[in-house]
Chains A and B, each alone.
Chain A
Amino acid sequence: LAKTTQPISMDSYEGQEVNITCSHNNIATNDYITWYQQFPSQGPRFIIQGYKTKVTNEVASLFIPADRKSSTLSLPRVSLSDTAVYYCLVGGGSGGYQKVTFGTGTKLQVIP
């Protein structure tokens, strides 16, 4: 399973765009990149998933460079309710049910 490295924590003011970068140097050819959000005492919630280039949904964008050794989660105009831990996971894509390994995650604190 590919190991991921993220900043431990980040602070941002309300209304700003937040970019969280994850390094995954040993990502495999079939691996996907998935980001989850977790609030205290809750299970992780799926945010976005991608394989290459850019993916956008209603809550976030995911940027993946050509070498796929890193990825950046972009949260537009964050609000106080976006304060949470964000996890980057790498794996899967080769069929079957894939177990995942969580890294340290990034604790995002949104400041009023």
Chain B
Amino acid sequence: GAVVSQHPSRVICKSGTSVKIECRSLDFQATTMFWYRQFPKKSLMLMATSNEGSKATYEQGVEKDKFLINHASLTLSTLTVTSAHPEDSSFYICSANPQAGEYEQYFGPGTRLTVT
């Protein structure tokens, strides 16, 4: 099956710094990827839809200037958490569809962000 990877798997940063998380589709091209955030014992919350070659579409309540998304190629989307604060500590997960019309999404392993 399709494989999606994320890097890093775990990151600790100081408050006020920025952190970049990468999401890669390893064996397929993805013009669209999705970014989720998951707090402990909670469900996944969709943050934004990442579109290759165009601006990301953010869900209501998600600050686009704080969570910068870049989808520069058909296999890579990045999420940058800018000026991170402790409340941004969470589990960030990306996903992608191998092709249009297919509803089966493949999820990355997630990135644990801890802001101290």
- Residues of chain A at the chain B interface (Cβ within 8 Å): 32, 34, 36, 41-46, 49, 87, 91-93, 95-105
Contact = CB atoms under 8 A, between A and B. Distances in A.
A95 B101 contact: yes
Contact of B100 (A44, A95, A99): A95
B34 to A, nearest CB: 6
B103 A43 contact: no
Interface of B: 1, 4, 6, 31-32, 34, 36, 43-46, 49, 91, 93, 95, 97, 100-110, 112
A8 to B, nearest CB: 11
A97 B107 contact: no
Residue of B1, B4, B6, B107 with most partner-chain A CB within 10 A: B107
Given A41-B91, A102-B46, 12 more contacts: A32-B103, A41-B112, A43-B4, A46-B105, A49-B104, A97-B49, A99-B34, A99-B49, A100-B46, A102-B43, A102-B44, A102-B45
Nearest to B57: A99
Given A100-B46, A100-B105, A43 B100 contact: no
B93 A43 contact: yes
Contact of B109 (A36, A43, A100): A43
